[in-house]
Structure 1
Amino acid sequence: MSSAIGAMRRVPHRPTAVLPPARDVDHRRVAGTAEGIVAHTVPGTTHIRLSGEIDAARLGEALGALAALDAAEPGAPVVLDARDVTFMDSTGVAFIETVHRTCAATGTPVHLLDPPASVTDVLALVGLEQAVPTVRTARSRPSRRPHRGHRSFCTSGPRA
């Protein structure tokens, strides 16, 4: 899986958090932030949590998660937990596609866990919704749609 890191631009990154096997881990406490990309492994699974805005500012974290993916147990399923993503641009799409291609090359299953509609809309737009299966859990909450199609940069009324 070492080709995964070369697929995205190389920049310095923060080390990924290695979390204890726990059902409900407080990622904000472990990662030190409420947003970002955090990877951890438990025996038999690599769990990558995406939260907040997944854009170019998260590129270093994405590379760290890809490094964790390279070091993961071969063939262990990969779960992309996207339930807390509020926005995703082409950087997030490229990350998901890189994870998918890396896993497909080794026959490793990858699943997208509880993505909001904004994420599934973007993946459908680029044709990835069939490549990365979506898994809905009982804990899945209804998706919140702060925007449709694109993020509005105008927060006030119409321009004069």
Structure 2
Amino acid sequence: MDLIEHSAAAGTIRVDIQENRTVVVLVGEIDAALRSEASACMGVALVAGDPVVIDSTQATFIDSSGIAFVLQLHLAASEAGIPVTLRDPHRVLRDVLDMVGLSGELPSAV
């Protein structure tokens, strides 16, 4: 079930509530144009209280505001005791996290 889905010209962020987990899906270009969508999705993910999986398998680009969203989600969830993992087989997000020295912050989802 998609709770939130907004789209800009080139990107989308949505939250899928699944059994026992919340999946935050990043699609296309994740940038500053999605700031309000990112905030709304973060709220939904945190309120659900289930483990969070950030799925960036469909992301093609992530700028600094996209990285900030991911790290803020991770920090807020960690403070609430909610585990966060990353699903990124295409490595778009992982490569950027590596470049900024934060690759160890998010474990990979199985």
Q: Is residue 59 of structure 1 aligned with residue 35 of structure 2?
A: yes
TM-score by length of 2: 0.84
Deviations 1:115-142 (A, max 9, x none): 4233211111122210101235xxxxxx
Deviations 1:66-108 (A, max 9, x none): 11023213xx210101000000000110011001101111221
2:25 corresponds, among 49, 67, 70, to 49
TM-score by length of 1: 0.60
Q: Note if contact 1:47-1:81 (Cα within 8 Å) is conserved in structure 2.
A: yes
Q: Is residue 105 of structure 1 aligned with residue 90 of structure 2?
A: no
Identify unmatched segments of 5+ residues in structure 2.
none
Q: Is residue 88 of structure 1 aligned with residue 73 of structure 2?
A: no
Matches of 1:109 and 1:32, distance apart in 2:
25
Matches of 2:92 and 2:46, distance apart in 1:
28
2:46 corresponds, among 70, 82, 88, to 70
2:100 corresponds in structure 1 to 126
Q: Rg: which structure is higher?
A: 1
The count of residues paired between Structure 1 and Structure 2 equals: 107
Any idea what SS the aligned residue of 2:105 has?
coil
Matches of 1:127 and 1:100, distance apart in 2:
15
Q: Note if contact 1:81-1:115 (Cα within 8 Å) is conserved in structure 2.
A: no
Report the RMSD for the aligned CA atoms in angstroms: 2.0
Identify unmatched segments of 5+ residues in structure 1.
1-16, 20-30, 137-160
Q: Is residue 18 of structure 1 aligned with residue 3 of structure 2?
A: yes
